[in-house]
A and B are shown apart, each in its own frame.
Chain A
Amino acid sequence: MESNYNKKSVLLPHNMKLIGIIISALAFVIGVAIKAKNAESENSDLIALFTYTGMILGLLFVSLSREKVEDERVDRLRAQSMQFAFVFAAISTIIRPMIDLIFGDPVEMEQAHSVVFMMLLVYNIFFLFLKKRG
């Protein structure tokens, strides 16, 4: 019996997972290397922007790529992971400024890039954890 899941879901091919990991890792390494070389650069915001963008793009590819066997259980794990990542990002966005306040650090609003990056990272880690747990 053929499953309809592979036909129904709009996902990227499975090999995009590896490509996504490479893009994320490259963006991180390049970003850190540029930052280390030009620590006092005026373009540090621009470097951070490109680094985050590259990592977000890579993680998006990872999260949107198809599993080898895409079935209803994987669908449910995706939903659970998305729910967890969403709640985690919301709580973290509330708590982080409070931690800054407690420790006397300058309070800043969360940037969209860091929130989206955190959501994607937590989503992928939690999805991997649930998949391995069986």
Chain B
Amino acid sequence: MKNILKVERARHNMTQQDLADKIGVSRQTINSIESNRYVPSTVLALKISELFGLSVNELFELDEDD
């Protein structure tokens, strides 16, 4: 699954740690999501998209392999 988390984070001028603190996860988790090593749960995806004022579909996109 692909995502535009890094772009949105940069657009909101946030560090990985800022985002991690806001949604209650570790910085490593944000890093893993951004580099597509970890697919977040629905709850976490909803939390992130809500924070950026986007829908989950806008933030996350299915890959060809999915």
Given A1-B51, A71-B29; 14 other pairs, CB 8 A cutoff: A1-B22, A1-B23, A1-B47, A3-B24, A68-B26, A69-B20, A69-B25, A69-B26, A72-B40, A72-B44, A73-B26, A73-B28, A131-B28, A134-B37
Tell me if B's interface is mostly helix, strand, loop or mixed: helix
Q: Are B31 and A71 in contact (CB under 8 A)?
A: no
Smallest Cβ-Cβ distance to A3: which chain B residue: B24
Q: How many A-B residue pairs have CB under 8 A?
A: 41
Q: Which positions in B face A, CB cutoff 8 Å?
A: 20, 22-26, 28-29, 31-32, 35, 37-38, 40-41, 43-44, 47, 51
> C-beta contact mask, A68-81 vs B, less than 8 Å → 1, else 0?
11011110100000
Q: Which positions in A face B, CB cutoff 8 Å?
A: 1-3, 5, 67-69, 71-74, 76, 131, 134
29 CB < 8 A contacts A-B: A1-B24, A1-B47, A1-B51, A2-B24, A3-B24, A3-B25, A5-B24, A67-B26, A69-B20, A69-B26, A69-B29, A71-B25, A71-B26, A72-B25, A72-B29, A72-B40, A72-B41, A72-B44, A73-B25, A73-B26, A73-B28, A73-B29, A73-B32, A73-B38, A74-B29, A131-B28, A134-B31, A134-B32, A134-B35
